[in-house]
Amino acid sequence: MLSKKAQTDQPLLMTPDWLTHPFALGVYAGLVPAVFFRAQLFLARRDLDKANRSQLAQLKTLTEAFQKTQDELKGTSGEKENLRVKIQGLLQSPDRQKLRLLEVLNRAEQRLTLTAPGFAPAWQTAKNEALAELEEEERGRSAPKQVLHQLMSTGSAFLDRLKSGNPQPEAKSPQAGDSNHNSSA
């Protein structure tokens, strides 16, 4: 057996020599940081996967919204084209062409009154006289002279009647096949 002196020289803990060997201590010194860095790598990959899933979900949402916007744009462009065709059709109507001509004449008058030196007073006088004549016609004090209205509504046929000296339209006689007139009296 061991003597008391030998028992006191030994450390209190009994560890095998291979656990405290310098090589083992070097392995410990390498394993601890390796385990730490491996844990950090695992956590970083998990966070990266979460970020990727989040970005994919966001990309999917944005793609759907973009596709929906593109579909709305296609529908809107078709609607725009239909409205453009309708507007062109309405602009071609005779009433609209008359209103357009009046607007053009009105704008031309405004420009001339601003830019032509002697035009404005003469034009204002002519407009006031024409307005007074029209008001007298509307009150019944003079015979109607709505030549412009008849000219615009009937066109060149009215011009031909004016040249021939008969501004009133000729009365049409009923034709034989006309169903609106009765042949019996």
- 168, pLDDT greater than 50: yes
Q: What total of structural domains would you count in the chain?
A: 2
CA distance 74 to 80: 10
Q: Which of 61-75, 89-103, 171-185 has the lowest mean pLDDT?
A: 171-185
The DSSP letter of residue 93 is S
Predicted local confidence at residue 1, as pLDDT: 46
User: Which pLDDT band, with edges at 50, 70 and 90, does 45 fall under?
Assistant: very high
Same domain, 68 and 98: no
Q: Which tens digits make up the pLDDT trace of 96-147?
A: 778 878 888 888 887 777 777 787 788 788 888 887 887 787 777 766 665 5
Same domain, 38 and 66: yes
Establish if 114 belongs to a structural domain. Answer: yes
Q: Kindly state the tokens that stand for 11.
A: 């450390």
Count Cα atoms within 13 angstroms, Cβ side, for 96.
Answer: 8
Same domain, 108 and 58: no
Establish if 12 belongs to a structural domain. Answer: no
Q: 26 is in which domain, residue-wise?
A: 22-78
Average pLDDT over the chain reads 76
- Cβ(27)–Cβ(18) below 8 Å: no
Same domain, 27 and 74: yes
Same domain, 72 and 38: yes
Same domain, 124 and 65: no
Same domain, 98 and 158: yes
Provide the sign of the torsion angle of the four alpha carbons 21, 26, 29, 34, taken in this order. Answer: negative
Q: Which of 51-65, 92-106, 155-169 has the lowest mean pLDDT?
A: 155-169
Query: Please, what's the b/e burial string for 25-46 (b: 16 or more CB within 10 A of its CB; e: otherwise)?
Result: eeeeeeeeeeeeeeeeeeeeee
User: Which pLDDT band, with edges at 50, 70 and 90, does 183 fall under?
Assistant: very low
Establish if 40 belongs to a structural domain. Answer: yes
Helices (H), ranges, 116-184: 119-139, 147-154, 156-164
